Amino acid sequence: MSLTTRIATFRRAIERWLLARFGDTWVEEWARGLYHGMISHPAYEKIELEAEDLEDAFMVACFPDAFGIPSPVSYYTAELLPYLETEFGAWERRMWDRQSLIERKGRQYHF
């Protein structure tokens, strides 16, 4: 039995024991919540915020007329609109909501 399989077996045993002992109790709920709040969410939240910023830049480049800037390509980018349903709504919401760049970028850091 190699080391890795021994570790895996041991891990499975612990998972089984934890599930049997704490499954569906408040302990599991809290443990999941803590893991989500402290580890996984901060990790992808920042990346998603950055992705949203890039998406906003994309949307502005596609539809500058929304801000009164005429664009030679908006005739062509209008073809993308049927496929940008979620993006369009979210973009508009973020544009309404945005205060300043510092505020937005600052949110991506936990001091």
Residue identified by tokens 């891990």 is 11
Contact call for residue 61 and another protein (CB under 8 A): yes
Q: Point out which span in 1-9, 14-22, 41-49, 96-104 binds another protein (CB under 8 A).
A: 41-49
What minimum distance in Å lies between the beta carbon of 61 and another protein? Answer: 6
**Amino acid residing at 92:** E
Q: Point out which span in 14-22, 23-31, 49-57, 97-105 binds another protein (CB under 8 A).
A: 49-57
Q: For another protein, which is the closer residue by CB, 77 or 104?
A: 77
What minimum distance in Å lies between the beta carbon of 38 and another protein? Answer: 14
State how far the Cα of 11 lies from the Cα of 7, in Å rounded to an integer.
6
Name the CA dihedral angle for 3, 9, 15, 21, rounded to a multiple of 10 degrees. -120
State how far the Cα of 101 lies from the Cα of 46, in Å rounded to an integer.
15
Through-space distance between the first and last CA atoms of the chain, rounded to whole angstroms: 46
Binding residues for another protein (CB under 8 A) = 40, 43-45, 47-48, 50-52, 54-55, 57-58, 61-63, 65-66, 70-85, 88-89, 92
